[in-house]
Amino acid sequence: MYMPFFARSHFDLGVVVRDLLAGARRPALWIAFATDEIQQRYRRSRLGLAWIVISYLVFVASITVFFGHFSDVGHSQFTVYVAVNFAIFTFLLGNVTDGCAVFRVARTWIKSAPLPHSIYIFKSIARSLFVFAINFQVAVAILFGFGFRLHPIAWMAVPAFFVLLLNVVFVQLAFGYLAARVQDIDHLMQSVTRVFYFTTPVLWVRNENEAPGLRKTISELNPFTHALEIFSAPILGKQPDPHSWAYIGIFTVVMFVIALVIGGLSHRRLPYWV
Amino acid sequence: MTAIADVRSHPPKKPVMSQRLGTAFLEAEGLGVTFRARGNVLHDSDAPADGRLVWSKSGRLRGVRALQDVSFRLSQGDRLAIIGQNGSGKTTLLQVLAGIIAPEVGRLTAVGRITSLININLGIQVEATGHRNITLRGLAAGYSRREIEARRQEIADFSELGEFLDMPMDAYSAGMRMRLTFAIATAFEPEILILDEWLSAGDIAFKEKATQRMQSFVGRAGILVLASHSPQLILDNCDTAMWLDEGRIRAYGEVRGILDQYNSHSKAVQKPAARPG
């Protein structure tokens, strides 16, 4: 009896959409799951949730101290740049790595209750949204603290954020199924995430790196570069680069198709894999 | 009123919210499940042939057939026991019936609210309190906060856990966990209740209480599927039995007759298996 890697006869293109809708209808459940995880993570520490703010501030402060002088923009401007970009960057990158483990950590539930798989994805995103919400408030406080004000163009960060949120769902879904089947994805992502720290304009300013070359090419191919551009530029008072919007638009569609295909192939087999 | 969980779709969580009593229905047609094997296990031609193992042409282990051609039909008030040796496919069958894993082949038709307790440790947040777990499991089973609150007191009473419900569940003994999970699962009036053998771990008082509760629920025209190694628990709760052997139905019928067949078979195979050394 021949058994292919994925049983093609069980391919179901619509299953991802049905699963996402079924999960989206039950926010009480994934919010409860997410709340539990947050409480567990911080329950036994004295400072509790303050650690979210502390670890964020430590990073922003050290980057501005060590890297601030490499940049041509003013010191206070660079601090705000790092603060906003780092908040959204850790949110996005964290979701990629969380995505690889999203089904593995929910293993006991997957094997004991017939819930939509998107419940676990929404739970994971809700948890990181909570952290992002705190970090982002600190970032805005830093922005105001250095005497900057929000430009009217800042509203463009709102649609950008929703598009990124959509991408996060697709990315978690695709990586979740892939990593459940192929453990190597986990290791691959761990090594690649380090590279993203350097190739994404968080520690450096994108506009100051205009010289064509390998460095430029790699950072412009990096989806995080464009994700940060469409979200952060409006908050920092600049018109976001239309190329970045185009890149993210295409990326979203491609990611959606990839998630549909991977999910369609994997959905029914997930309980066997985790 | 019928939800069909065919091989192409993930079985719906609550197949049908039927309000009328006496409509519960569970039918399996030719269910088959094959677990894929990972790693590099080569075929040993000296080993006794095992019909469950699937080999590739080059003699590598590709999978294990956990269930083959399982068909049966249960309707209101039926109480089915699943018996068989370890590894005969009992838990896999329960997982398929509960909609947790989709069958490779075959069709499952289920009408009625399904509640399954397949592994006592699954679906529990051990770091959370008993009360919190009541909420989580209730939400996971698709109930609203209001419905959960309406039943909280009853669950607390049945579990007899009292103040322990405010403590994290990793402080509970196995028996306490079992009481709570059983209390939660049966509090919401399931129409189809699927239980694995862990129930037999309880003490006598709890077993009696659980048996009473199961009987009252089956009396209200539900379906019970119970896998167990305990003849007493089976005789107390079931009227029909299915003997699974290497993933296939070996015998199916009235509970006492099947149990007798199974016991005499087990004794017969035990003797030659007792080799010296």
SS (H, E, C) chain A: CCCCCCCHHHCCCCHHHHHHHHHHCCHHHHHHHHHHHHHHHHHCCCCCCHHHHHHHHHHHHHHHHHHHHHCCCCHHHHHHHHHHHHHHHHHHHHHHHHHHHHHHHCHHHHCCCCCCCHHHHHHHHHHHHHHHHHHHHHHHHHHHHCCCCCCHHHHHHHHHHHHHHHHHHHHHHHHHHHHHHCCHHHHHHHHHHHHHHHHCCCCCCHHHCCCCCHHHHHHHHCHHHHHHHHHHHHHCCCCCCHHHHHHHHHHHHHHHHHHHHHHHHHHHHHHHHC
Query: Hey, are the CB atoms on B34 and A116 less than 8 Å from each other?
Result: no
Q: Which of A206, A74, A84 is nearest to A138 (CA)?
A: A84
Q: CA B55 to CA B45: how far, in whole Å?
A: 12
Q: What is the pLDDT of residue A2?
A: 35
Q: Which long-range contacts (CB under 8 A, 24 or more apart) does A151-158 make?
A: A151/A234, A151/A237, A151/A238, A153/A234, A153/A237, A153/A238, A153/A239, A154/A234, A154/A235, A154/A237, A155/A234, A156/A230, A156/A234, A156/A240, A157/A230, A157/A231, A157/A232, A157/A234, A157/A235
- Statement: residue A258 has pLDDT above 90: yes
In a domain, A2, yes or no: no
**Residue whose pair of structure tokens reads 């293993």 in the numeric block:** A107
In a domain, A4, yes or no: no
Choose between B138 and A210: higher pLDDT. B138
Q: What is the pLDDT of residue A128?
A: 96
Complex ipTM more than 0.90, yes or no = no
In a domain, A16, yes or no: yes
Phi-psi region of B89 (alpha: psi -120 to 50; beta: other; left: phi over 0): left
Query: Hey, are the CB atoms on B122 and A114 less than 8 Å from each other?
Result: no
DSSP B77: T
- B residues 3-32 near A, CB within 8 Å? 7-13
Domain that holds residue A170: 9-273
Q: Which of B203, B176, B64, B44 is nearest to B120 (CA)?
A: B176
Query: Hey, are the CB atoms on A12 and B9 less than 8 Å from each other?
Result: yes
In a domain, A3, yes or no: no
Q: What is the pLDDT of residue B128?
A: 86
Mean pLDDT of A253-270: 93
Of A3, A15, A43, the CB nearest to B36: A3
A113-127, A131-145, B147-161, B185-199: lowest mean pLDDT where?
B185-199
Nearest CA in chain B to A43: B127
Structure-token pair, residue B275: 């080799």
In a domain, B200, yes or no: yes
How close, in Å, is residue A128 to chain B by CA atoms?
Answer: 19
Q: What is the pLDDT of residue B213?
A: 82
CATH number for position B256: 3.40.50.300
Choose between B129 and A6: higher pLDDT. B129
Q: CA B179 to CA A159: how far, in whole Å?
A: 49
- Residue B57: list chain A partners with CB under 8 A: 2
Query: Hey, are the CB atoms on B142 and A26 less than 8 Å from each other?
Result: yes
A208-212, A269-273, B168-172, B228-232: lowest mean pLDDT where?
A208-212
CB under 8 Å to A183, separation ≥6 — which residues? Answer: none
In a domain, B51, yes or no: no
In a domain, B15, yes or no: no
Q: What is the pLDDT of residue B10?
A: 39
Q: What is the pLDDT of residue A256?
A: 97
- B residues 89-128 near A, CB within 8 Å? 95, 98-102, 104, 116, 118-119, 121-125, 127-128
- Statement: residue A222 has pLDDT above 90: yes
Q: Which of A62, A58, A56 is nearest to A78 (CA)?
A: A62
Q: What is the pLDDT of residue B146?
A: 92
In a domain, B8, yes or no: no
Choose between A208 and B241: higher pLDDT. B241
What residue ranges of chain B have pLDDT lower than 70? 1-22, 48, 120-122, 198-202, 221, 270-277
Q: CA B41 to CA A189: how far, in whole Å?
A: 29
In a domain, B52, yes or no: no
Of B35, B136, B144, the CB nearest to A32: B136
In a domain, A84, yes or no: yes
In a domain, A1, yes or no: no
Query: Hey, are the CB atoms on A112 and B35 less than 8 Å from each other?
Result: no
As a whole-number percent, the residues of chain A with pLDDT over 90 amount to 65
Q: Which residues of A touch B (CB under 8 A)?
A: 1-3, 7, 10, 12, 15, 18-19, 22, 26, 28-29, 32-33, 36, 40, 43, 108-116, 267-268, 271-272
Best of A110, A120, A268 to disrupt the B interface by mutation (most B CBs within 10 Å)?
A268
Distance set, CA A144 to CA A138, A228, B12 (Å): 10, 20, 50
In a domain, A182, yes or no: yes
In a domain, A79, yes or no: yes
In a domain, B253, yes or no: yes
Nearest CA in chain A to B146: A28
Domain that holds residue B198: 76-106+113-264
Query: Hey, are the CB atoms on A109 and B104 less than 8 Å from each other?
Result: no
Phi, psi of A113 (to 5 degrees): -145, 135
How close, in Å, is residue A260 to chain B by CA atoms?
Answer: 15
pTM of the full structure? 0.84
In a domain, B243, yes or no: yes
Count: domains in chain A:
1
Of B100, B128, B140, the CB nearest to A111: B100
Q: What is the dihedral of CA A262, B10, B124, A43, to 10 degrees?
A: 40
